[in-house]
A and B are shown apart, each in its own frame.
Chain A
């Protein structure tokens, strides 16, 4: 088998900078490359801004690949063409992609196209010191268990959950080899005719230091605009929801925190009338402190939280929020 060497990170951009997930992947990739004694490369996305390469270098990539795609635009076909070209030209042993809305499609499709295996939504990736194989760790059974996978084929592809690893500090002045990468993309097969995105007011859920989330027990839309929002406002935080309120239309999908929603890791997470099912905990277990209010003393959330009150949130929250305002007024 041809020698596969090095770690390749597939970058995504957020405006003119690398996305936060990409920064996390570069730090993760840097550590893996060090463990392997091999190099870290970064392939920039098609249509990426100039300057992304320098940022990738500052974050540890020693080789940056700048795509030159036959078709303009950033369709999935263009991303795939770039990823395949990067792998076929540079033969990395490991490919890291963020488990983002792009990555959860790009990762599996890249793996099947190359006829290799991928592990998706990994919360940890590490090199086995004896075999140098990549151990890919991910939650399964909706978060009720954790699986560790490895793949015999190369490259080993992992999509990594946002916020599962921390980004490092960029070191300005670090340089990298900047190389062009030619890729031929076929005509996109999907035509986007309309895009409807909700403008999120106030603090972005993924960035909020405090999140107040409601679950099935809220029994309707009123608490999301009422009691939960009042508490969030008192602590300069954002309002979230588990899946049932979103499926029932009590809260918009943009508030959905969970395995198939947003992943958040705030300093303080309030789980209000949330049972604590694994699919929801997958979205918030990275929180520093979890506070639960639930009328059911047996709810699983009390196995996950640090502080809790057993009681109806309608009875507990008003006094709680009032006291919070009083205590934080100074």
Chain B
């Protein structure tokens, strides 16, 4: 089986595991923020996508190039992709890439893939942990004209292509697809491996390749906020009033019995 050239798309996002109360919207920029002490992370589903690529490389050999688009990317955070075993890191990093939507993100990544000389598989997370749009993977497939398999929970190489277990409602199906192909990955694939010390030290020595719009032959009007097709009119936070009635008791068991009474009283049961 031939070895595979793979791209894994990783996005730096605000940590989705932060407490809901820590998230605050900056009204002037219409951007979400977290307190400075909470470091950004690589998106949850992007980590599964990277793990899928690394497992394939372990099985048949090849190269995993991690591509990340954004601005002011924190090296510490994004280089985790190298520390866990990614071979190469390409940052599409420039102020012009700020406030991209799915369209401008997919378009720029496709230009980067073309500049790299193509690849055999593009791995994306099923959706980003910030905008939850789930469109970049499908968008890359459409722009490249490649087949797409979504919600992969297992990916294996076969002659001329991939055999993928794809999550479907209440189960999964086994799908064969020819390469080159785009695959989006879901959490059932399993967690990204831990970085070992050797990998962390190697990553510290590697420098990412950095490309801006000009390097990709992109006009400013087709990039980031300028090129967006979906306009963000408003970003707001639902106001949550704590209106929970706490039912107590001398013991947890008594509280349980009291809860049942209260629910009966309220005609809930």
Contact = CB atoms under 8 A, between A and B. Distances in A.
Q: Do they bind each other?
A: yes
Interface of A: 76, 101, 104-105, 108-109, 111-113, 116-121, 135, 138-142, 144-153, 189-198, 200, 235, 243, 247, 253-254, 259-260, 267-268, 276-279, 289, 291-292, 300, 302-312, 315-324, 326-328
Given A111-B135, A142-B132, A190 B147 contact: yes
Nearest to A139: B132
Given A117-B101, A141-B132, A190-B147, 10 more contacts: A104-B134, A112-B139, A141-B130, A141-B131, A145-B238, A146-B235, A197-B171, A309-B248, A311-B256, A318-B253
B130 A140 contact: yes
A320 B256 CA distance: 4
A130 B252 CA distance: 56
A188 B75 CA distance: 41
A192 B166 CA distance: 10
A151 B188 contact: no
Nearest to A119: B230
Contacts of A307: 244-247, 259, 262-263, 266, 268
> Which of B150, B173, B244 has the most A CB atoms < 10 Å from its CB?
B244
A193 B174 contact: yes
A170 to B, nearest CB: 25
Nearest to A255: B170
A251 B127 CA distance: 23
A190 B177 contact: yes
B240 A304 contact: yes
A260 B187 contact: yes
Given A109-B138, A146-B238, A306-B244, A279 B16 contact: yes
B72 interface: no
A309 B130 CA distance: 32
Contact of A112 (B103, B127, B233): B103
Given A111-B135, A117-B230, A323-B257, A303 B130 contact: no
Contacts of A189: 147, 177-178
B146 to A, nearest CB: 9
B229 interface: yes
A235 B264 CA distance: 12
Contacts of A311: 252, 255-256
A149 B233 contact: yes
B12 interface: no
A289 B265 CA distance: 14
Contacts of A101: 151, 168-169
B259 A151 contact: no
Contact of A308 (B106, B131, B142, B245): B245
A292 B263 CA distance: 12
B3 to A, nearest CB: 22
B130 A152 contact: no
A268 B233 CA distance: 35
B17 to A, nearest CB: 8
A116 to B, nearest CB: 7
B256 A198 contact: no
Interface in B13-61: 14, 16-17, 19-21, 23, 25, 32
Contact of A147 (B16, B17, B235): B235
Given A141-B32, A260-B186, A307-B245, A323 B134 contact: no
8 contacts: A105-B148, A109-B141, A144-B20, A145-B25, A148-B233, A148-B236, A247-B188, A260-B127
Contacts of B134: 104, 108, 120-121
B260 interface: yes
Contacts of A308: 244-247
A216 to B, nearest CB: 12
B226 to A, nearest CB: 13
B172 interface: yes
B101 to A, nearest CB: 7
Contact of A316 (B103, B256, B269): B256
A306 B260 contact: no
Contacts of B168: 101, 195, 197
A327 B264 contact: yes
A271 to B, nearest CB: 11
Contact of A196 (B172, B177, B254): B172
B262 A145 contact: no
B243 interface: yes
B242 interface: yes
Contact of B14 (A135, A141, A198): A141
Contacts of B16: 141-142, 279
Contacts of B254: 319
A327 B269 contact: yes
B175 interface: yes
> Which of A151, A247, A307, A328 has the most B CB atoms < 10 Å from its CB?
A307
